[in-house]
Chain A
Amino acid sequence: MTLYGKRRITNYVVLTLSLAATAAGLLVLFLILGALLWYGIPALKIMTFTAMTPPPGNTPGGLLNPIFGSLVITAAATALGTPIGILTGTFLAEFGRGTWVAPAVRFVNDILLSAPSIVIGLFVYEMMVVPMGHFSAWAGVVALAIIVIPVVVRTTENVLVLVPSSLREAAIALGAPRWKVIVAVTYRAAIQGMLTGVMLAVARIAGETAPLLFTALNNQFWSSNLNGPMANLPVVIFQFALSPYANWQVLAWGGAALITFTILILNILARWVASRGSFQQ
């Protein structure tokens, strides 16, 4: 065979393999989504949204208390983590130049972004559950907030540096104090990007299970008391999926479908918001 023919065949083989790799990756995505639709959708009856989690055995029940718990814990964690993340991101983008703090914070933030979430759970257990003497939804909120912070810091910094300096300079030239320039001009210009970051952070924590295992724990009953254990979807899915009861497993699939499609919709919405922003990455 000629050298040219060999090179062409090698090229053909390499490109086919790369196409196969992509197809395999997408196949896994569709297999997971397919399984969630197949097993999860039949579990999403009206009762799932109106009844409490059933006791062991084959009593019918729903997911009302974990859905409520997840909404409360996720909302509180986002409310706690977002301002901290935005202020830290602001520091990195606006005041950090030339300091030693900024590169160090950026480095630590990137580590936190990928740090094992179960270790965050252990940390909050040591800091809150042990001193308080009992598991509590507040501890879960703090654990999830620690996961929100690095996501928001990253996106806030990335989008703030895209705002043209001429905008800031125009405001400063008018005599505006620096904080007013940032709040009224820079934030305003970057709001879509910052919102995207928050949405991605919500999507990230909505399915987090590991940090809740030793903090919010779980609760078989309705509870709106953040000072005690509270039911939440991820931990309920974990318990129910590994149980021997058929109806618990069905509910686990229902919860899994609910969480996954919420997260996927949030992700797609976040991209849409980002694409409408004035300054794109």
Chain B
Amino acid sequence: MSGTDALAGRLRLEPARGVSRQKVEDALFRGATKAFAIGVLLLLLAVLVSLVVGSLPAIRKFGLTFLWDQSWNPVKDLFGGLPAIYGTLVTSAIAMLVAVPVGLGVALFLTELCPPWAKRPIGVLVELLAAIPSIIYGIWGLFILAPVLQLTVQPFLVDVLGPIPILGALFAGPPLGLGILTAGFILAFMVLPFIAAVTRDVFQTVPAVLRESAYGIGATTAEVVRDIVIPYTRVGIVGGVMLGLGRALGETMAVTFVIGNAHHVSTSLLAPGTTISATLANEFTEAVDELYTSSLIELGLILFVITFIVLAAAKFMLMRLERRSAR
């Protein structure tokens, strides 16, 4: 009894108060939480609406040609989004190419290979990598990674892959250090911890019985992963990768530091380029006339729509896996 008395004391219940008053207070509290929840819902809509409204002048002037026009000339008021859209997609593709296999490797290590006492500390270190802000990756990429790539990896790529037809076009030109390739690498380091953490969690949803049965009939660890873990979690892995892709597409500061900020489309990965987010970071505060600002906002709208689609797809896939493992 004393337990409930203490609880009643903490709640400061006053029996004299009317039940109807309690009901009003309850409805108010519930209403307040619901109002804020709906506010969060409307926030996303408000972002979309404000971006559409802000980009109307540019949409009216350039129409759909904005998507494939290469010009970017603030003096003549000619704007096309292609270089930024191209840079965004290519840097993210490079990032995924590097980060997905490495991230899967880390997840594999953490779930199958790592001794139990080291699981937590290594997992925490990987998560700390995710906590480092974008701008720190940027300053590190500019002063440390770019010079190293310029002196080692890039000359190697130019020498070895440069002479090969077609593939060589990707590695043409001088090794500048700053450019699309370096930006892709920095993005890879940034999304690696996200992919590793999500796939690790996803790998852990595999029922122990399945795994143990496979080991029981003599499968090696690699075979268990290839034939049991990966097929079982395929949807979740794709979801985790898409989550990483969503991050990579919108990443701003790290890319702005190392991409070189040039508004042209170049087949060479060593050439400087730009991304949507880097263009916004560099030019938005300097844009004075309406069409310039509006074109930049339209770029932001395009980025928002692309990341929304990618993130929504990721969410659906992870939800599918969750529902299955809950069954």
User: Given the complex of chains A and B, what is the CA–CA distance between A88 and B43 in angstroms?
Assistant: 13
A95 and B33 contacting across the interface, CB-CB below 8 Å: yes
User: Given the complex of chains A and B, what is the CA–CA distance between A31 and B186 in angstroms?
Assistant: 13
- The listed residue (B25, B222, B252) touching A15 by CB distance below 8 A is B222
B315 and A14 contacting across the interface, CB-CB below 8 Å: no
If A107-B315, A263-B131 touch, whether A180 touches B222 (CB-CB below 8 Å) is: no
A116 and B249 contacting across the interface, CB-CB below 8 Å: yes
Q: Which of A84, A87, A153, A271 has the most CB of B within 10 A?
A: A87
Kindly list chain B residues whose C-beta atoms are within 8 Å of the C-beta of A101: 34, 37-38, 41
B29 and A182 contacting across the interface, CB-CB below 8 Å: yes
If A15-B113, A25-B196, A118-B280 touch, whether A88 touches B33 (CB-CB below 8 Å) is: yes
- The listed residue (A22, A32, A114) touching B105 by CB distance below 8 A is A22
A114 and B307 contacting across the interface, CB-CB below 8 Å: yes
B137: Cβ under 8 A from any A Cβ: yes
B128: Cβ under 8 A from any A Cβ: yes
Contacting chain A: which of B74-82, B118-126, B167-175? B118-126
Render B103-128 as a binary contact track against A, CB cut-off 8 A, 1 for contact. 11110111011000000001011111
- The listed residue (A115, A127, A175, A217) touching B304 by CB distance below 8 A is A115
User: Given the complex of chains A and B, what is the CA–CA distance between A213 and B37 in angstroms?
Assistant: 28
Closest to A174 in B: B8
A177 and B37 contacting across the interface, CB-CB below 8 Å: no
A222: Cβ under 8 A from any B Cβ: no
B47 and A120 contacting across the interface, CB-CB below 8 Å: yes
- Nearest chain B CB to A27 CB, angstrom units: 10
A256 and B135 contacting across the interface, CB-CB below 8 Å: yes
> How many B residues, CB 8 Å from partner?
95
User: Given the complex of chains A and B, what is the CA–CA distance between A36 and B40 in angstroms?
Assistant: 37
User: Given the complex of chains A and B, what is the CA–CA distance between A109 and B131 in angstroms?
Assistant: 19
Q: Which of B268-315 contact A (CB under 8 A)?
A: 277, 280-281, 284-285, 297, 300, 303-304, 307-308, 311-312, 315
A237 and B134 contacting across the interface, CB-CB below 8 Å: no
A1: Cβ under 8 A from any B Cβ: no
User: Given the complex of chains A and B, what is the CA–CA distance between A184 and B13 in angstroms?
Assistant: 11
Closest to A95 in B: B30
Closest to B142 in A: A241
B53: Cβ under 8 A from any A Cβ: yes
User: Given the complex of chains A and B, what is the CA–CA distance between A175 and B307 in angstroms?
Assistant: 48
User: Given the complex of chains A and B, what is the CA–CA distance between A220 and B47 in angstroms?
Assistant: 31
Render A234-250 as a binary contact track against B, CB cut-off 8 A, 1 for contact. 10011001100000000
If A8-B220, A21-B106, A126-B297 touch, whether A95 touches B34 (CB-CB below 8 Å) is: yes
A87 and B36 contacting across the interface, CB-CB below 8 Å: yes
- 24 A–B contacts, CB within 8 A, in A order: A10-B222, A11-B220, A14-B108, A15-B221, A18-B112, A22-B109, A28-B129, A29-B126, A29-B132, A35-B144, A107-B312, A109-B40, A116-B304, A118-B280, A122-B54, A177-B22, A179-B28, A203-B131, A210-B281, A214-B284, A234-B253, A241-B139, A260-B133, A264-B132
Known: A17-B105, A110-B311, A153-B40. 20 other contacts (CB 8 A): A7-B223, A18-B112, A21-B105, A22-B106, A29-B128, A35-B144, A36-B140, A84-B36, A96-B37, A101-B37, A101-B41, A123-B46, A126-B51, A171-B7, A176-B13, A242-B257, A253-B139, A256-B135, A260-B132, A264-B131
A residues bordering B, Cβ < 8 Å? 7-8, 10-11, 13-15, 17-22, 24-26, 28-29, 31-32, 35-36, 39, 84, 87-88, 90-92, 94-96, 101-102, 104-105, 107-112, 114-123, 125-127, 146, 149-150, 153, 170-171, 174-182, 184-185, 203-204, 206-210, 213-214, 217, 234, 237-238, 241-242, 252-253, 256, 259-260, 263-264, 267-268, 271
B residues bordering A, Cβ < 8 Å? 4, 7-8, 10-11, 13, 15, 22-23, 25-26, 28-30, 32-34, 36-41, 43-44, 46-47, 50-51, 53-54, 101-106, 108-110, 112-113, 122, 124-129, 131-140, 142-144, 189, 192-193, 196, 220-223, 225, 243, 246-247, 249-253, 256-257, 277, 280-281, 284-285, 297, 300, 303-304, 307-308, 311-312, 315
The list of the 7 closest CB pairs from A to B, nearest first, reads: A116-B250, A207-B133, A21-B105, A179-B29, A91-B33, A11-B220, A14-B222
